Amino acid sequence: MSRDAAMAHLETYLAQVRRNLKGLSEAEIREVLLELRAHVLDRVEGHLTPRTVETALAALGSPREVGRANVTERVAAVMEKDRSFFGVLAAVVRLAGLSLAGFFLFLVSLTGYGVAASFLGVAVLKPFRPGHVGLWRTAPDTYSMGALSHPAEGQELLGWWIIPVGLVLGLAIGYLTWRFGRFCIRAMVRRPAREPGVSPAV
């Protein structure tokens, strides 16, 4: 009876960890849960009671922290193998639902890549629609930039210079967004656990 209650307690914990493993494949989730189960069973050393399981689970950490640590490390490890634009973007997307920091990183990346794509788009479109792509001053303090079907009335400021300007700004912003993504993901991995950190044994 006590053994059943202990196993039920363990399974409840593992189900809670599973809920915090969003972003991992089913095979990865199975691997994580199997290993945690084995760890707890090893730790209780044959004395499977609700109390020993509770002690083992407390040492592992909360399901939320354990889940997050697993997802962040695995996503970061995949990103380190593929540091391309797509590799970093895929990692950012996988971490978006994990925490507030992950969601913030996703928003910043989305904005950064969006702005970069807009600048690059302007540079690419200029030769095809020269009269519709540009930077206009429509009032003393009002500017309008982009590819517009009905260009604003006003002075066009950049002319053909918009091509190199768009390319440089687009590539620079895209590069910085990519670097920022890598930096943040590595920082999320390095971040000390809020629960007991690596500490000298007492």
Q: Does 69 bind another protein (CB under 8 A)?
A: yes
Q: How far apart are CA 1 and CA 162, in angstroms?
A: 76
Does residue 195 touch another protein according to CB under 8 A? yes
> Which one of residues 15, 73, 164, 186 is an interface residue with another protein (CB under 8 A)?
73
Q: Does 140 bind another protein (CB under 8 A)?
A: no
Among 18, 22, 37, 132, binds another protein (CB under 8 A): 37
Torsion angle of C-alpha atoms 55, 56, 58, 64, degrees rounded to 10 = -150
Helix (H, G, I), strand (E, B) or coil at 202: coil
Q: Which two tokens stand for residue 179?
A: 């670097």
Counting contacts by CB under 8 A, is residue 201 touching another protein?
Answer: yes
Burial of 144 (0-12, 13-18, 19+ CB in 10 A): middle
Beta strand segments in 11-121, E: none
| Binds another protein (CB under 8 A): choice among 27, 100, 139, 196 | 196
Q: How far is the CB of 177 from another protein (least distance, A)?
A: 24
Within 13 Å of residue 86, how many CA atoms lie on the same side as its CB?
Answer: 0
Range 38-67, binding another protein (CB under 8 A): 38-39, 41-43, 46, 59-61, 65-66
List of residues contacting another protein (CB under 8 A): 32, 34-39, 41-43, 46, 59-61, 65-66, 69-70, 72-74, 76-78, 80-81, 189-190, 192-193, 195-202
